[in-house]
Amino acid sequence: MNRKAPAVLDALAQDYASGLLTARARRRFERLLREQPVAALALAAWQARLAQMNNSLPRLTVSPWLRERLERRLFGAPLPLPDTSTAASTPPAAPPHRARWRAWLAGPWWRPATGMALGGALAVTVMLLQPALAGLEPARDSLPASYVGVLADAQGQGGLIVSSRRHGRVVHLKLLRPLSALPPQRLARLWAYPADGAAPFLVGILPAAGKAELQLGATSEQLFAQVTRLAVHADAPGAAAPGALLLSGPCAKLW
């Protein structure tokens, strides 16, 4: 299995975000996150989906029956009642570790924690089996066909995620950290560089922080089909050519 293929990375990101990977598989995927920017993008997409689904579901309350089942699962059957036929008889003392666990379970904190855990599990199950119930798009085996880029600075620190659906007209931007290297009186502008060496073309201006969307004059397929690199430059307002380089990274096809 080629773990670097986009479809495989998306499936691994789904299982990682859902908590379904084994410890060994999680460590392997975490190495891929450091090596493959597309893997980080796929994981961010699945985490956003799960968070949206989890927030849309009501919190669950834990019944006394469930609490008793949990206690039995942890500690086994209750201790036998002491023999009260003689005054000298004394109840058997619970082992110290069991007494600590019973006191821990008796506290009120675990009820909302258990409810949140069950709610999260239910959210994952519903989203994977019936995503339409939460207003999400139908389940897919992979992410939608898109052009994506993860841009980093000269030191290799990630700074920007760029994505746009293959036949869409919107570019989604997410700044991972503020552009501290942007000089005063300059604009951070995103440029696309075609593979054939043609002149780069301007995509748009980045936000100061957080997320933003840029409207395109044509579909991503028409604009980015021959683009292999994206870059952010510090440009003077109205400049016709790129200025000082701030961030750069490959433009990949996710399909």
Q: Across 61-65, 75-79, 178-182, 203-207, which has the greatest mean pLDDT?
A: 203-207
Is the dihedral angle over the CA atoms 133, 136, 137, 143 positive or is it negative?
A: negative
pTM of the full predicted structure? 0.50
pLDDT per residue over 61-95, tens digit each?
667 777 777 777 766 655 454 555 554 455 555 55
pLDDT (tens digit per residue) in 138-170: 445 556 889 999 888 888 888 899 999 999 999
Q: Does pLDDT of 104 surpass 50?
A: yes
Nearest to 244 by CA among 203, 185, 198: 185
Quick check: 121 pLDDT over 70? no
- Quote the CA–CA distance of 214 and 192 in Å, as a whole number: 14
Per the CB < 8 A criterion, the answer to whether 56 and 120 are in contact is no
Instruction: Report, as an integer, the average pLDDT of 182-209.
Output: 92
Angle at which helix 37-56 crosses helix 6-18, to 10 degrees, equals 40
Q: How, if at all, do strands 227-235 and 211-215 pair?
A: unpaired
DSSP string, 105-164: HHSTTHHHHHHHHHHHHHHHHHHHH-GGGGTPPPP-SSPPSEEEEEEE-TT--EEEEEEE
- Condensed to tens digits (0 to 9), the pLDDT of residues 4-62 reads 666 777 788 888 887 888 888 888 888 888 877 777 777 877 777 676 566 555 666 66
Q: What is the residue whose two structure tokens read 């909302």?
A: 112
pLDDT of residue 83: 55
Return the CA Rg of the chain: 27
Q: What gap in Å lies between CA 144 and CA 129, rounded to an integer?
A: 18
Q: Which two tokens stand for residue 159?
A: 């700074």
11-20, 152-161, 176-185, 219-228 — which is least confidently predicted?
A: 11-20
Residue of 127, 149, 125 lying closest to 140 (CA atoms) = 127
What is the spatial distance between Cα 129 and Cα 127, in angstroms, rounded to a whole number? 6
Structure tokens at 54: 């989890």
Angle at 66 between CA 65 and CA 67, to 5 degrees: 90
Instruction: For residues 198 and 241, give the distance between their C-alpha atoms in angstroms, rounded to a whole number.
Output: 13
* DSSP run (H or E) holding 234: strand 227-235
Percent residues over pLDDT 90 in the chain: 27
Least confident of 172-176, 206-210, 241-245: 206-210
**Could you give the maximum distance between any two Cα atoms of the chain, in Å?**
99
